[in-house]
Amino acid sequence: MKEIKKILVTGSVGQIGSELTIALREKYGAENVIATGRKTKPSKELEESGPFHFIDVTSIESVEEIVKQYNIDTVFHMAAILSAVGEGNPQLCWNVNMNGTINILELGLKYDMARLVIPSSIAVWGKGVPLDNTPQETVLKPSTMYGVTKVAGEILCDYYVQRFGLDIRGLRYPGIISSETLPGGGTTDYAVAIYYEAVEKKHYTCFVREDTVLPMMYMPDCIKATLDLAEADFDKLVHHSDFNIAAMSFDVKELADSIKKHIPDFSVEYAPDHRQAIADSWPNSIDDACARQEWGWKPAWDLEAMTEDMLEKLEARNNEGRLYR
């Protein structure tokens, strides 16, 4: 197994990418982690903590330029169009997610890279899947273009592992909740927005029903899972690009109740929209036994601890008049 030395992060301005880049810089050295984005301006922290470039993952030349310039040996490929935005523009979703992924795989081969980390999502599931404790191996019939690209991406990555011996790892992220960068255009975004609006307005209008249950994870666990999988012993991995991982599952009422313990006059109303059908097609909870066995995955955060931490961070920012930065 080769050592991780020079890292490229695509999608570094996104919800996960922004915090992952900072964590990678702390672990591997700031100058060794090259952050990239398509057009959104990076935060001051991201820009000032190490190299940042604008690239377009759908153009292999644009990515290759950075790979050559920095002698990149590892890619964390976080750039993707998420489920809700993808339904508004399925062709764009296919183009960014599929061509972006195959470009990274081809560059991984061409430059004999040490590691590619290419995430997947709960969106791989859909019709016919057991919704409770969804097993690692089960039917993959997504209802969104985002899900289609994630299923195809997993299979494509595993093909590059088997056919070319490339070292590729990926996990199926549940909804990720975080306080630093807002998610962009996913179905699970309500679980982040509810905290911001609880702090700002003490009221939230939710775009899925009160009884909607989805698997979720707090950002510190998401970062830990990503870093741990990246450093796991390749020889011990049976799976590669499609690990189930789980942390917590709750419905919106339970989420709202956890916030009400801190903000008693917080209220929620429900106005389900087109995202309800997407949420209903995804599991309630996930069986992550393979991740636990193969690379020691274990979550640390539950709903109550996450709510306390989220509200503390957002309230501190709100008091300084920069809730949304």
User: Residues 308, 227, 190, CA angle at the centre, nearest 5°?
Assistant: 40
Q: Is 198 exposed, middle or buried (0-12, 13-18, 19+ CB in 10 A)?
A: buried
Applying CB under 6 A, the residues found at the interface with ligand SER are 82-83, 121-123, 146, 173, 175, 186-188
Q: Does the active-site annotation cover 70?
A: no
Residues 6+ apart with CB under 8 A from 264: none
First to last CA, the chain: 41
Q: Which residue is nearest to ligand SER (CB)?
A: 186
Minimum gap (Å) between residue 84 Cβ and ligand SER = 6
Q: Render 110-141 in DSSP notation, one character per residue.
A: HTT-SEEE--EEGGG-BTT--SSSB-SS----
Q: Based on CB atoms, which residue is closest to ligand SER, 121 or 143?
A: 121
Least Å from the CB of residue 15 to ligand SER: 8
* Tokens at 209, concatenated: 């029903």
At its nearest, how many Å lie between ligand SER and the CB of residue 103? 21
Report the DSSP beta bridge partners of residue 306: none
Both tokens assigned to 14 = 């996104």
Report the residue number, 121 or 181, with the smaller CB distance to ligand SER: 121
Residue 259 near residue 266 (C-beta atoms within 8 A): yes
Separation CA 204–CA 269 (nearest Å): 6
- Which residue's CB is nearer to ligand SER, number 4 or number 217? 217
Distances (CA, A) of 98 to 27, 32, 151, 166, 233: 29, 27, 10, 18, 27
Least separation in angstroms between residue 232's CB and ligand SER is: 21
6 or 172, CB closer to ligand SER? 172
Nearest residue (CB) to ligand SER, 37 versus 186 = 186
The catalytic position among 28, 70, 146, 324 is: 146
CA atoms within 13 A on the CB side of 1: 14
CB of 188 to ligand SER, least distance (A): 4
Q: What is the DSSP string of 164-226?
A: H---EE-EEE-EEE-SSS---S-STTHHHHHHHHHHHHSEEEESS-TT-EEEEEEHHHHHHHH
Minimum CB separation from ligand SER for residue 278, in Å? 7
Q: Rank residues 135 and 185 by Cβ distance to ligand SER and give the closer one.
A: 185
Encoding tokens for residue 59? 């153009």
Show which residues are catalytic. 146
